[in-house]
Amino acid sequence: MPALCPTLRRDGDQVVILDQTRLPFEEHYLHLAGLADAVTAIRDMQVRGAPLIGATAAFGVALALRHDASDATLEEADRSLRQTRPTAVNLHWALNRMRAALLPLAPDARGAAAWAEAEAIRREDAAANARIGEHGLALLRRQAATARRPLNIMTHCNAGWLATCGHGTALAPLYAAHAAGLDIHVWVSETRPRNQGLLTAWELARSGLPHTLVADNAAGWLMAEGRVDCVIVGADRIAANGDTANKVGTYLKALAARAHDVPFYVAAPRSTIDLACPNGAAIPIEERDADEVRMLAGLAGDGSVVRARLVASTSAVCNPAFDVTPAGLLTGIICESGVLAPDALAPLATS
């Protein structure tokens, strides 16, 4: 397994995060000193990935309660953090868990309890990542047994350790396979407009895992050419019927995979499965700032990071951050409990 740079950790009465808006050009860490910093980190995508967003929100509550653990402060922290990102259900799951743990307590007991609960959420996510890796590895071993070349896996966006508190969701099986000696290669799509595939390429390069970065529009052609053995992506919310919201562009890859008989898996912890959400139509889709599409960041010749405009500021832009892949296009959902059929999630409510 790769050595991890911590995406989120406590440092005294503050929280340290890896600022992902500076990647892949610079590895820079930020100290979050209060609730406002945590809100900014989530809203502005300094942290990203559904599991990491949830854990950061939990630590945001702990930061908010350091000096005042009254009901009013707890309610304000909960409200402010819930408003940051609408699609990733792990955010709301973590905040619900924090409320359930803290509201019954007297205010003078809430501070320590908030830190403890946030740490528990962080540890449990890392453990869930490890189990997702184990279950995914079993799938990849079966596929590798019949492959006549390196097993070629495609992913989309970033669902590795940058997006979680452990080894990732979609990337966890790949890291496990690499550690187990399987001959694998990863197709990494760039994932415009935030170019989060570049973060996946950055991760995989640090781990020595063979990979190739491709433009998003190359995915269908690669599948048609028989150069993709399976697709594994993460998720930001999975509805009760198995419909899955993930980074925009996932749906197109699922359609291409179905057309060319390529297995298509979603990897996510159970906290991403929203049994209160009946189907994909009920998942709120975040629309982000138009300049994410109009502008592009890159390195200048002198090594400085520069932003370049691609189109006029008056050009109309639609910038949905996510799309929904119908359950019927999924081969399976890999979670810490095993590999689930997309249409068989209801038993999780009682397990």
Residues with a catalytic annotation lie at 236
For 68, 81, 245, the CA distances from 107, given in Å and listed in that order, are 8, 20, 37
User: Do you find a cis peptide bond into 24, omega within 30 degrees of 0?
Assistant: yes
Q: Are 189 and 154 in contact (CB under 8 A)?
A: yes
Alpha-carbon dihedral 14, 37, 47, 127, rounded to 10 degrees = 40
For 207, 262, 279, 328, the CA distances from 199, given in Å and listed in that order, are 13, 24, 30, 29
List CB contacts of 212: < 8 A, sequence separation 6 or more: 185, 186, 187, 188
DSSP per position, 196-209: THHHHHHHHHHHT-
Alpha-carbon distance of 56 to 47, in angstroms, equals 8
For 207, 212, 217, 249, 329, the CA distances from 190, given in Å and listed in that order, are 18, 10, 9, 10, 22
CA Rg, the chain, in Å?
A: 20
End-to-end CA distance of the chain: 30
H/E run at residue 98:
helix 89-102
> How many other β-carbons are positioned within 10 Å of the β-carbon of residue 146?
8
Cβ burial of 302 (10 Å; 0-12, 13-18, 19+) is exposed
Q: Are strands 305-309 and 295-299 parallel, antiparallel or unpaired?
A: antiparallel
Alpha-carbon distance of 143 to 228, in angstroms, equals 12
Question: How much of the chain is helix, strand and coil, in % rounded to 5?
Answer: 45, 20, 40
Alpha-carbon distance of 174 to 154, in angstroms, equals 10
